[in-house]
Structure 1
Amino acid sequence: MDMHISLRSLEVFHAVMEMGSVSRAAELLNLTRPAVSIALSKFEQDLGFQLFHRSKGYFEPTDEAQLLHHETEQGLLSIERIKTRAMQIRGGGVGVINISSNGACAINLLPWVIADFQKVHTGVRIDLLVRSSRKIASWVAGRQSDIGLIDAPVSIPGLTTEIIRSRCVVVLPQDHPLAQETVLYPHHLQDQSIIAITGDHSIDRQVNGICAAEHVTIYRRVSASYFAIARNMVRAGAGLAIIDAVNGMADLGDGIVWRPFQPAIYFELAILTNPEQELPHPAQAFLSDLRRALPNTQPDV
């Protein structure tokens, strides 16, 4: 049986899944709530299965909706790429670069690299999306991103992977007693609250191993998904953090200072490209700029 799926149906379904409610999806799409509800019902009819459990106005996604959501997101991204390419051809633009990154580089590095790049390459459009490492690897493998930046190791085989290894730093308030030290060692962390990185991160495993070997007791009372958020937690007084040099050494004027740590703790960033897809010339130029920006974040000890 033929199945007709409209672009509007995909957009409405994706909006409800992303926003978590019909009302917020309606606001995002500039539609009325009844229009969104009708579109969802029509989509379910076209598909032949239910997408949401409805109870007193609350829409809870079914298992089938969860399975379909990922494919819908990829499909909409592909459609946006088609639209972008068509606009580029019609307008005589010189190129589009699609970059996907997790939080490590997206907040305190890429915005500046992009801005500097576009001062020279004024006709290049750059789309930056922030997602999980697993999804980014999937997008690069599916040719939906030209360049991906994630934490190593890489979960999907077959991609071209360039590992950038950098030393981590300790970030702390500028008025903290340990800020008087030029280099911090394990004994300095005794009885300190150290903000963890969510998800059994390799940095935390290194810190825990070093502290255990040195019989140093640290406390993990809070965790953060992004290094930049961990830095803000330090600013708020939640403890100290050991994070990557990109976010730790950034000069943000926020009252946070960084100190090298011995023995060295490393963070590995993976730059992903698809070996089956030749990078457009603008993307190659951007990748060169990115490589030059990363070595400048190595702390001297």
Structure 2
Amino acid sequence: MSGQISPRQLEAFHAVVEHGTMTRASQQLNISQPAVSRLLADLAHDLGFALFDRRDGRLVPTQEARFLLPDIRRVLDLLDRISETSRDITQRKAGDLRIACLPGFAISHLPRVVADFLKDRPGVTVTLEPDRPERILEWMVGEQFDFGITDGFDGHPAVEREEIRVRTVCIFPQDSPLARQDVIRPRDLVDQKLIHTRRDSPFFRLLNEAFLADGQSITTFVEARQFTTACEFVAQGVGVSVVSELDAVKYRGQGVEYRPFRPAVPHRLSLVRPIHKQPSMITLEFMECFAESLHPFRQQDE
């Protein structure tokens, strides 16, 4: 072989094989007949043997050319797939997305957002891995995931973040006297069986400050790591809790109600990604979609 074979040469060869004449091949390729002739001459020179014999006014592949034809077709098919995939990537319809999140998100808000995102993106694959905040930070620093959803994040030089404050509400069984109130305050929960997040969590510290500011103290009944767990306890009639509205809304119609909690104790979510890993277009688009999905639940400044 004396030169580098180009895809255009292979396309010209295949078009002549399919149509039998350079005239029809040139029409298919939308180039002139002399251009087709030059491509074939260059290809024959590069390969070192003749490509066609002329029979009854048609060009017929030589035995050597026939031997190569299956491989040439596979190459052209592969090039077509590459072109199609690249178009899908450019249009955000193909790619791989690796998401790390808090366990509660894996079974509450996130699946719906991912499902909506994938509807018009059949070429996108998603890996979803739930774990505790410490582990999510490790994954971001190690560039093992594209995007993370966590809380209690104090910052890291290798991680970029966007903080979103999500409203919290008081959730309680629907037959509770609390249902008669428009707003729930710490003083209203003094005689209630309170279910709350772990005492070492940033959210518990904020909640405890709200109780102290109202002249009250928290009396623990059940301590749970996740808001979803607290909501399950409330749905079973165990007690009441203060949780993210993102989680509470999933329990509407399941024997519970909720009301705004004052003073506002927002759940501080952090949307994080590795700062030194160039994000894919699909990652940036999903991060934007996810942030937008939180808009109805954002805590407004009071």
TM-score range, shorter-chain basis? Answer: 0.5 to 0.7
Which position in structure 2 is the counterpart of 1:260?
Answer: 260
Indicate if the aligned counterparts of 2:163 and 2:269 stay in contact, CA closer than 8 A.
Answer: yes
1:62-73 matched pairs, under 5 angstroms: none
What does the per-residue CA deviation read over 1:28-61, in whole Å, with 9 as the maximum and x for residues that have no partner?
xxxxxxxxxxxxxxxxxxxxxxxxxxxxxxxxxx
The reply on whether 1:272 has 2:254 as its aligned counterpart is no
Letter in structure 1 aligned against 2:221: R
What does the per-residue CA deviation read over 1:248-273, in whole Å, with 9 as the maximum and x for residues that have no partner?
23355322221101111111101111
What TM-score, normalized by structure 1, do the two folds share?
0.65
Indicate if the aligned counterparts of 1:191 and 1:218 stay in contact, CA closer than 8 A.
Answer: no
Q: CA deviation at 1:158?
A: 2.3
CA distance in 1, matches of 2:103, 2:170: 18
Letter in structure 1 aligned against 2:131: R
What does the per-residue CA deviation read over 1:128-157, in whole Å, with 9 as the maximum and x for residues that have no partner?
110111111111111110001110324643
Indicate if the aligned counterparts of 1:161 and 1:272 stay in contact, CA closer than 8 A.
Answer: yes
Letter in structure 2 aligned against 1:96: D
1:37-48 matched pairs, under 5 angstroms: none
1:41-190 matched pairs, under 5 angstroms: 94-154=94-154, 156-190=156-190
Indicate if the aligned counterparts of 1:189 and 1:216 stay in contact, CA closer than 8 A.
Answer: no
What SS does structure 2 have at the residue aligned with 1:249?
Answer: helix
CA distance in 2, matches of 1:99, 1:253: 30
Alpha-carbon distance change, 252 to 145 in structure 1, aligned in 2, over 3 angstroms: farther
Q: CA deviation at 1:210?
A: 2.4
Identity among equivalent positions (%) equals 29
Letter in structure 2 aligned against 1:202: P
Letter in structure 1 aligned against 2:297: T
Indicate if the aligned counterparts of 1:138 and 1:156 stay in contact, CA closer than 8 A.
Answer: no
CA distance in 2, matches of 1:128, 1:98: 6
Number of equivalenced pairs: 213
Aligned alpha-carbon RMSD (Å): 2.3
CA distance in 2, matches of 1:199, 1:140: 25
What TM-score, normalized by structure 2, do the two folds share?
0.65
What SS does structure 1 have at the residue aligned with 2:220?
Answer: coil
Q: CA deviation at 1:124?
A: 0.5
What SS does structure 2 have at the residue aligned with 1:114?
Answer: helix
Q: CA deviation at 1:283?
A: 1.3
Which position in structure 2 is the counterpart of 1:56?
Answer: none
Q: CA deviation at 1:217?
A: 4.7
CA distance in 1, matches of 2:201, 2:287: 26
Which position in structure 1 is the counterpart of 2:191?
Answer: 191
Letter in structure 2 aligned against 1:169: V
What SS does structure 2 have at the residue aligned with 1:276?
Answer: coil
Alpha-carbon distance change, 268 to 209 in structure 1, aligned in 2, over 3 angstroms: same
Indicate if the aligned counterparts of 1:198 and 1:225 stay in contact, CA closer than 8 A.
Answer: yes
CA distance in 2, matches of 1:259, 1:138: 36
Gaps of 5+ in 2: 1-80, 89-93
What does the per-residue CA deviation read over 1:136-187, in whole Å, with 9 as the maximum and x for residues that have no partner?
1111111110001110324643210110112211111111110121111222
The reply on whether 1:289 has 2:289 as its aligned counterpart is yes
Instruction: Tell which deviates more after alignment, 102-111 or 268-277.
Output: 102-111
The reply on whether 1:237 has 2:237 as its aligned counterpart is yes
Q: CA deviation at 1:238?
A: 2.0
What SS does structure 1 have at the residue aligned with 2:139?
Answer: helix
What SS does structure 1 have at the residue aligned with 2:269?
Answer: strand
CA distance in 2, matches of 1:286, 1:218: 39
What SS does structure 2 have at the residue aligned with 1:221?
Answer: strand
Poorly superposed stretches of 4+, deviation over 4 Å: none
Letter in structure 1 aligned against 2:106: A
CA distance in 2, matches of 1:100, 1:169: 25
Q: CA deviation at 1:117?
A: 0.4
Q: CA deviation at 1:212?
A: 2.5
1:11-26 matched pairs, under 5 angstroms: none
What SS does structure 2 have at the residue aligned with 1:250?
Answer: helix
